[in-house]
Structure 1
Amino acid sequence: MTSPVDMRMDVRWKRLLSGGSGAIWIATIALFLLSPIVAPGSLDAAPVVGMLPFAAVLGIAAVGQTLVIQQRGLDLSVPGMMAFGAVLVSSLPQNYGWPAWAAIIAAIVLPGAVGLVNGILVTRFGVMPLVVTLGMNAVLLGTVFGLSNGTPAGAPALLADFASDKFAGVPNALLVAIIVVALAGFITQRSTIGRRLTAVGVSERAAAAVGIRVGSYQMLAYAFAGVAYGIAAVLYTGYVSTPPLFFGESYLLPTVTAVVLGGTALTGGRAALISTGIAALFLTQLGQLLRALGWPEPLQLVAQAGVLLSVVLLRELVPALARARASRAARSPRPRTSASAEVEPAGSTR
């Protein structure tokens, strides 16, 4: 018979091995411990400081993807959203004479408005999220090409100075990411809006039964996701100064991978935003380590896909193995204790 201590240990191992939120913290610590051994110098100050802004951009973009996945969707408009935000903040001042502050606001607010349109199409018109976001991605990429006239523009000096600067030795981009991820995590976990978003993600029918306006909260999730993509695009543009027009394509798979590694299920429900931010750090450091080892970018994408596939398989296999073990334990006969062995049936003779 399994003791309570053994049962608690089984539950802990099941959570870790099935890709729960705690697993990515352990994996990230292990990766940073392993990095200087595999690639000496990979954790020197310069490489780490250069890596952190890209981790910040991925972390913020992954927040947006998390909000959509929490509502049992999958946002394929990430490349277009981030390219749209980048072209707004760079082309509007350079090509159309906008002030930098107005372009920054537009690059955050307009992707949010596009996200709201995605939410309306999904909730009010019943179109599948994959179809909506894939179509919107094509529209946004066309818009990017039209606004930029096919030529990348440079970031405003104000934004470039801020994104490349540091506060107390910490890159400003990372500080912005910490604020965004922490605020989003607080809202989803502690606020009424967050609890209702979680309830809608778990079960639309149950949420509607208790009076939650399901469609409104789903639209809100898509709008907040667009805002997150806009913030990520603004930071990326400021840090690299002149981003490629379609740089967002390299962020689609990593955002999904970060969400899954962070512990948010693809079937919706609870959103583990803080752990998603840690997963973004893990993926960025993994990419830097692979580049130090000489892996080309296609193989790095294969490695990310392998990590994603491994976690998804673990989430399916570990619970199945745990159920099979519990079933075998339930069917196995209980051993006779010494006390029960001494008790004899009534009327027995020696």
Structure 2
Amino acid sequence: MEPTTRTVSIVSKPYRPDSAAARLLSRLFRYQATPVVIGAILLALVAALFVPKTFTPASLTAILVPAGITGVAAIGQTLVIQQKGIDLSVGGVMTLAAVTSGMLAAAGTGMPVVLLVVAALSVGAGLLNGLLVTRVHITPLLATLASNSLIIGVVWTVSNGQANLAPDGLRQIASGSFLGFPMIAWIAVLLAVTVATVVSRTLFGRRFTAAGSSPAAALAGGVNVGGYILSSYVLAGVFGGLAGLLLAGYAGQTNYDLGVNYMLPVIAAVVIGGASLSGGKGSVIATLIGCLILSLVVQMVLTLGAPASTQLLVQSVVLALAAGIRLFPWSRLSFWRRWGRS
């Protein structure tokens, strides 16, 4: 009599944490903004304990206004990075919008015309970047860096390096407040929530995310990947132009290098927010909180007596730390495994 053999199939089940705390943590960390929110809360506690002057009314304005301006530009940068790209022309677009508004205001142009001209130029700048990437097939890094130099050169040539006052309407909006918080911060929050809703709740947003996560699969599914990449650069141009207008209104005047120094903080905020440079992963809400963290760190350092010239250094250090934390192989630590099963 021949022995019978029995086949046993082993199906691996996904790991589910046993403890209630681990389950709660697992649910919370499904949201990309969760680690950034926790980091912002911890940083605020540190500032309150060791640098309490950081939270005076004047300091709060100095935190929220730059965070809001950076956040508006960083919304567009997040969309570009979700499509596996990068936009290094954000400083040039911000400067272009600011200087154009000042020149038109000096010529007596009404505010509606100023907004239309700036919108057209911002869309044009984003369209240029998008076409260079999608049609000419230039690497995004080189394409946007070249267009940034071109934009700054054009601004310098046309304005002849002269400064102008920002339009009165922009100055009123940028200097205004609502419920005790700067209007610029409210505008940034409103835009971030709107974009996050569109990306997560609409067909356009779902296809946009799919095009960035897996272009090959999206193409196989009939998604126009090139069109979504192009749209991301156009949107980045629009948000960069809007950030330039807010910056001009807050500064009160415009000059040829007004937005040049914003390139690093915009990219740093997106990285702090956890967006993946490989595409797909990105959250404008997390990016906005990243802007807040970056601005808070800078203000803490300035409150401790450091000169304003250290801002770029501080931003660079924060960017390096954020990148290091994200790249660290946390999952390999036995501590996290034991804690998850406790």
Structures share fold, TM-score greater than 0.5: yes
TM-score (norm 2): 0.86
- The partner residue of 1:98 within 106, 109, 128 is 109
- The partner residue of 1:150 within 141, 144, 161 is 161
- The partner residue of 2:316 within 305, 308, 330 is 305
- Conserved? CA contact 1:259–1:279, under 8 Å: yes
- Conserved? CA contact 1:16–1:23, under 8 Å: no
- Between the aligned partners of 2:68 and 2:36, the Cα distance in structure 1 is 17
> Runs of 5+ in structure 2 lacking a partner?
1-13, 338-342
- Between the aligned partners of 1:225 and 1:12, the Cα distance in structure 2 is 36
> Runs of 5+ in structure 1 lacking a partner?
327-350
Summarize the Cα distance change of 1:15–1:135 in structure 2 as closer, same or farther, 3 Å threshold.
farther
- Between the aligned partners of 1:204 and 1:58, the Cα distance in structure 2 is 29
Match of 2:6 in 1: none
- Between the aligned partners of 2:32 and 2:256, the Cα distance in structure 1 is 36
Summarize the Cα distance change of 1:114–1:15 in structure 2 as closer, same or farther, 3 Å threshold.
farther
Instruction: Give the secondary-structure state (helix, strand or coil) at the position aligned to 1:75.
Output: coil
Calculate the aligned-residue CA RMSD, in Å.
2.7
Matches within 5 A, 1:280-319: 280-318=291-329
Moved more, 85-94 or 292-301: 292-301
TM-score (norm 1): 0.84
| Percent of aligned pairs sharing the same letter | 35
- AA in 1 matched with 2:82: Q
Q: Tell me the CA shift for residue 21 of structure 1.
A: 2.8
Deviation digits for residues 12-43 of structure 1, max 9, x if unmatched? Answer: 889999x9532211111122222233223220
Structure having the higher Rg = 1
- The partner residue of 2:152 within 131, 141, 158 is 141
Q: Tell me the CA shift for residue 248 of structure 1.
A: 1.8
- The partner residue of 2:96 within 81, 84, 101 is 84
Work out whether 1:264 is the aligned partner of 2:290: no
- Between the aligned partners of 2:159 and 2:21, the Cα distance in structure 1 is 57
- Between the aligned partners of 1:139 and 1:3, the Cα distance in structure 2 is 53
- Conserved? CA contact 2:99–2:255, under 8 Å: no
Summarize the Cα distance change of 1:6–1:308 in structure 2 as closer, same or farther, 3 Å threshold.
farther
- Conserved? CA contact 2:17–2:23, under 8 Å: no
- Conserved? CA contact 1:118–1:136, under 8 Å: yes
Match of 2:63 in 1: 51
Deviation digits for residues 172-223 of structure 1, max 9, x if unmatched? Answer: 2122111111111111111111111111111111110000011111101100
Deviation digits for residues 103-153 of structure 1, max 9, x if unmatched? Answer: 123223321221012111111111110111011001100111123221111
Work out whether 1:39 is the aligned partner of 2:36: no
- Between the aligned partners of 1:15 and 1:111, the Cα distance in structure 2 is 40
- Conserved? CA contact 1:80–1:141, under 8 Å: yes
